[in-house]
Every structure is written in C-alpha cells, then in structure tokens.
Amino acid sequence: MASFKILGRQQLRGKITIGGAKNAALKILPAAILGSSPSTISNVPDIIDIEKLIEILRSIGAKIEFENHTIVLDAREIRTSHPDEKLMKKLRGSVVLVGALLAKFGNAKFSEPGGCLIGSRPIDDHLDVFRQLGVKITQKEGTYYLSGKPQPGKVVLKKMSVTATENAIIASVLSKGTTKIHVCAAEPEIVDLANFLNKMGAKISGAGTHDITVEGVSELSGVEWEVLPDRIEAGTYIIAGVAANSELEIGPFISDHLNIVLKRLEDAGAKFKIFEKEGKEYIKTLKHGLLKACDIDTRTYPGFPTDLQAFYAVLMTQAEGETHIFETIFEGRFSSIEELNLLRAKTEILNPHEFVVYGPTALKGSRISSKDIRGGASLVIAALIAEGETTIDNIEYIDRGYDKIDEKFNSVGAKIERIS
C-alpha cells in the first residue's frame, strides 16, 4: 500500500491545471460503445477508476487506446453483454454500462458493482428504471440477468439519482419511440453525456432539468469529444488555496457549476477573483483575514456537492465559531472526520447525517488513513495546513479520483513525498 508523507505549512503559489470530469468520463465511455464507428474522447483524467473502466470495456471486446488524456474507443468487435464480474465489483460507476449493453444487445449479465464505502448506494434504482423500460430481470446467487430491448414510454425515477438518470438516457437512445424520464438529476456531467450522445446522432432534450425526453434513433456514429472540466477537482484546489491562505491560479473550470460553493466560501470570508483566459474561465484564490463559521447542507445539483463536504469541513477547522454540516445524500459519510480529529481538529458527530466543526484550530501532523476518494483528498489539504509532518496511508483511494494530486500540489510549493 502506498502513502503520502506531507510536510505542512508551506506557502503555496502558482498555477494548477484542472483536468476532465471523472464523473462525466466514466459515463461517456460506456455510452461510446453504442457507436457504429470509433470515438475519440479527449481530456480524460488518468486515474485508477478510468483504468478499471477500460479493463471492463476490454473484457467485452472493445478496442481502446489511451494516451495523453485521449481515448480512442472502437466498439465494432464487441460480441458479449457479460462484462468481467471481478472487474465490475471494483467500480461502482460501472453500473452505467448495463444501460448501454441493453441498448446494444437487448440483454446483460452482471454482479452488483463495488466502490467507496460512503453509505448505502443500492442498485435498486437502476433495476427499477430497466423494469419501467420493459426489461425482464432475474437474480440468482448475486448475479443479475436482464433481457429485452428497452421499450419507449414513461420512466419516473425514485429519486434524483445521477447514475440512474444516466442509465435511463443511455438505455433509451436506440429505442423505437419516445421515452420521457421524470425526477431526473440535473448535474453538469449528465448534460455532457447527453451532448456527447446528441453529437453521435441521438435526440435528447431537457438534460440539466428534471424532465428529459429521448427520441429513439436507429443508429449512432462515433465522434470526437472533449470532456468538460472537473468541477469537484476545481473545488478541491480552490478550497486548498483558501485553507492555506495562498494565491493559486486554478483552471480551466466553469464557475456556474460551483455557484453555491463559491457563495459559501465568500460568506465565510474567502477572497478570490474569476477571470477569462483564451476563452476559458480561471479562478485565483487571494489572501484573506480570519474566516468565520458558515453552515452548509449537501444537496443534489445545484446544491452544495456531497463530494466537497469533507473539504469544506477541513476549511472550517480554520474558521471562527461552530460550523454545522448536514449531509443529506449519504448517511455515514464522515470517515474522514475521525482521521481529521487525529490531527487535533475539534469536531462532534451529532447523528449519521450531521456533525459540527469547532474552530479555529491549529492542526498538528500525525499518521492517518484515507478511506474513500474525497475524504482521502480532503486529508491531503488538512496535512498541508497542519504543523509538522503527516503520513496518509491507503492513498490508492485518492488515486482513484485524482490525477497526480501530489505532483500538482508540489508544483505550487507543497512538500509531498509518495512512498510505495
């Protein structure tokens, strides 16, 4: 297992480049198997989750080349709808491949996928979508057997689930007729997926709202596509710049995708400026005075992202007062709080959905452990502002979602050593 050794309280200054959105690329690649010709997808993050997805796609026969953040995917030799079960269990997001396989073959076989331990994330929502689309589902010894081409009609999601929304879209694009999907999630990554499919020849409208319409088409063709910037990665480095009270230029990013995050940071006393360069947006964090406590509650987009909750908690250790953080998306997504307390933070978990951060607190280096992608990365920021040396174990979790986070921080003055 690999670790980070981090020497804290270094002055950070410089530029950090934001890559493509992990949560967009992980859905665009499965959708690309519906193309009758190869697709070239650029700005793909070079992270473990993408590597796992590539292995899964190759297990069903896809030909994939991945170089310099660009993937060329050729699906013309895919002959099976049964991806490798061991690989599927390692990646929660792989469930979106099921919708693509149903659209392509009219059948699919898979076991329940794995992922980070951040609360209950059952696949019942996905199975319910497929049933509403007329797919027959049977289960035997932990394996699901799905049969039947998705039929057009009306789909009502149980809740605003991002991946269930994406599965409903992908499964419907080749159906003969109109499918109306209601109670949809509205995240920017869903819009990016819909725009990608529309460029391939699909007819999807309403993405980014809670009601999406899919007019089925008979064929999709491969295209060239650039994945949109990762709003969570951008939020990570923005909060890092504020927490370290440093001047960091971060981008490209899309400020509208982080409206509520930037508003809460401003409310807490953070200072930054947004500017345009070569047609793209960038942000620069600026020096600020004492931060003040500012409560948040995580919500589906455009609410405060659950993926940035742990980072905000780290920031609030440096703010004056009590910060109440209410997690509405996942119960028990507080594993990083226990580790943060080892750095002498002062927090109190009130219930599985709510905790309090008391500040300001001078964090002290210690040995801690990463337990999920975002929580692990938030501990990197905590270590950067803590006095002394911190060792973070199990950084494989961080590498699942961040492309060379240690190198990016070191490029702006941090002192992070990767120990294999």
Alpha-carbon span 358 to 345, nearest angstrom: 8
Alpha-carbon span 200 to 36, nearest angstrom: 10
Query: What angle do helix axes 309-316 and 231-243 make, rounded to 10 degrees?
Result: 10
Active site residue 184: no
Active-site option among 24, 91, 116, 197: 116
What lies within 8 Å, CB to CB, of 313 at 6+ separation is 323, 325, 336, 337, 340, 347, 355, 357, 378
Alpha-carbon span 129 to 135, nearest angstrom: 9
**Are residues 312 and 264 in contact, defined by beta-carbon separation less than 8 angstroms?**
yes
Neighbour count for residue 183 (Cβ, 10 Å): 15
Handedness of CA 300, 301, 304, 307 (dihedral sign): positive
Query: Where are the alpha helices (H) located in 148-226, listed in sequence order?
Result: 162-172, 188-200
β-sheet bridge partners, residue 368: 392
Q: Catalytic residue positions?
A: 116
